[in-house]
Structure formats: C-alpha cells, structure tokens
Amino acid sequence: MPTHYSFSKTSNPHMVLMMMKDGKEKKMKLPEPIMKPKKMLSKRQKDLMKTHKQHHSEEHLKLMSDLMKRGFCFEQAHEIAQKSVGK
C-alpha cells in the first residue's frame, strides 16, 4: 500500500488536544493511551475523581474525565490536564 494512504498519528483525534491558552489556540500532542477507549468511567475512577475534585476546578475535572474515557489512565489524564488547563 502506498504511504500516502496511511494515516499519520497526528491525524488521530486521540493524539492531539486543542486548547485555548491566553486567548491563543494551541495544539498539544498527547502520548499513547494505556487502555482502550470506553463510554463510562470505572467505579475506581469515579471514586478517585470524587476525592480529586476538592483540589481542582470543574474544567480540570471535565478534561480529565474526557481523557480517561479516551483510554488514558488517571495519572496521564491529570498530567495532561495540569499542562493544558492548570489547577
């Protein structure tokens, strides 16, 4: 198969995060997710998010939830959310 038919990793929506920081749109390249994408968070992830919400904003929590549904683990999602949204 010719190389122009293959998809690059940057065209994968799971690999790029669009964010607005200081009024400017930025793209952040994401690492490879550890788990498979899923529709809902596990009970353990929900419990972790309940304790985590005391220290972080709603925007941070929403992004983390979205990333965990894409297949990222809790620590990966937290690190990405810290870089893009902040606390």
Residue 68: Cβ-neighbour burial (10 angstroms; 0-12, 13-18, 19+): buried
d(CA 87, CA 85): 7
Domain that holds residue 62: 3-84
Note the pLDDT of residue 30: 80
Note the pLDDT of residue 10: 47
Note the pLDDT of residue 5: 45
Note the pLDDT of residue 83: 84
Per-residue pLDDT tens listing for the chain (87 residues): 444 444 444 455 556 666 666 666 677 778 788 888 889 998 999 999 999 889 898 988 998 899 999 898 899 889 888 888 877
**Count of domains in the chain?**
1
Predicted TM-score of the model (pTM): 0.70
